[in-house]
Amino acid sequence: MRLPLWAQVLCSLCALAVPAGVGVAVGAHWGAEEVLRGRLQRELAGQRAELERVRREAQRRTRGLALRVAELQARMVRLDALGERLLGEAGLAEEASSWARPPAVGGPFAPVGRADLAVYIGELERLLHRRERELKSLEALWLDRRVARQSAVGGRPVARGFLSSAFGERIDPFTGEPAWHGGLDFAGPPGAPVVAVGPGVVRFAGAQPGYGNLVEIDHGGGLVTRYAHAERLAVEAGDWVRRGQVIATLGATGRATGPHLHFEVYEHGRAVDPALYVRKTLR
């Protein structure tokens, strides 16, 4: 069977075009798959990198939060220790025993989900701020009490010795006759320290007839104390002395039968029983 020339040419073109078209189609499909596979691989690699970055950032933040918690807890321990010391020095033993215990709290349970470290840190910071405010108030109270204690007048003028003669009428040791004794006598070893029973200004320090070596302290408000028969004086007129400061040593100068301290207290120029001040317990 013979075909015309144009039919032969057409059949030849069809025989060549069909395989070429199939090849082009298959190649295009495979190329599209490769492009899609490469894009998916790049996206997956980017997601893995982002996930790794988020994981490192989360670890860094977690370490930072843990360090913050440790710092806050250390500050809380220091504040508790300081609060207990201040309460003890302020004479508030009962409050000191409960200072470090967590504050009492309560209320119905209302869950809000998993506890978060940041929420815990916020609660700890609020507790720390509250404890700092309490500590400031406590410090102010302690300072007030310390100032009041240091400015008060009272206690024994000698650390060693015993009361050998009271305030009021007595038999004079030199004449054997009734006489007025305007102070307290504390007998003790020579050279024992004599201390001021309150802060004030030394108004007189020197020898005085009958008193021997005498120290007179003006505490203000009309209150004056005298320390007589001293062996040696440790202050001079015009000196400022604090409560408990050594101002002289025990002796037997002046009108004395032996080493002792003659202690007098005057309120607005009138002699009063020094025992009222000696018996004061200053805390």
In a 10 Å sphere around its CB, with 0-12 CB exposed, 13-18 middle and 19+ buried, how is residue 214 labelled? buried
Mean pLDDT of 60-80: 73
Q: What is the fold of 162-278?
A: Glucose Permease (Domain IIA) (2.70.70)
pLDDT at 238: 92
pLDDT in tens, 242-254: 999 999 999 999 9
pLDDT at 112: 44
pLDDT at 282: 47
Q: Is 103's pLDDT higher than 80?
A: no
- Cross-strand bridge partners of residue 281: none
Q: Is 56's pLDDT higher than 60?
A: yes
Amino acid sitting at position 152 = A
pLDDT in tens, 168-189: 898 888 888 889 999 999 999 9
pTM of the model: 0.52
pLDDT at 36: 67
pLDDT at 113: 47
pLDDT at 283: 45
Most confident of 2-16, 38-52, 99-113: 38-52
Are 87 and 138 in contact by the 8 Å Cβ rule? The answer is: yes
Q: Is 106's pLDDT higher than 60?
A: no
Q: Is 227's pLDDT higher than 90?
A: yes
pLDDT at 53: 78
pLDDT bracket for residue 109 (50, 70, 90): low
SS (H, E, C) 129-188: HHHHHHHHHHHHHHHHHHHHHHHCCCCCCECCCEEEECCEEEECCCCCCEEEECCEEEEC
Mean pLDDT of 125-137: 71
Q: Is 144's pLDDT higher than 80?
A: no
Residue ranges covered by each domain of the chain: 10-99+117-151, 162-278
pLDDT bracket for residue 24 (50, 70, 90): low
CA dihedral 167, 168, 171, 175 (to 10 degrees): 90
Contacts 24+ apart (CB under 8 A), 129-133: 131/76, 131/79, 131/80, 131/83, 132/79
CA 79 from centroid of its chain's CA atoms: 5
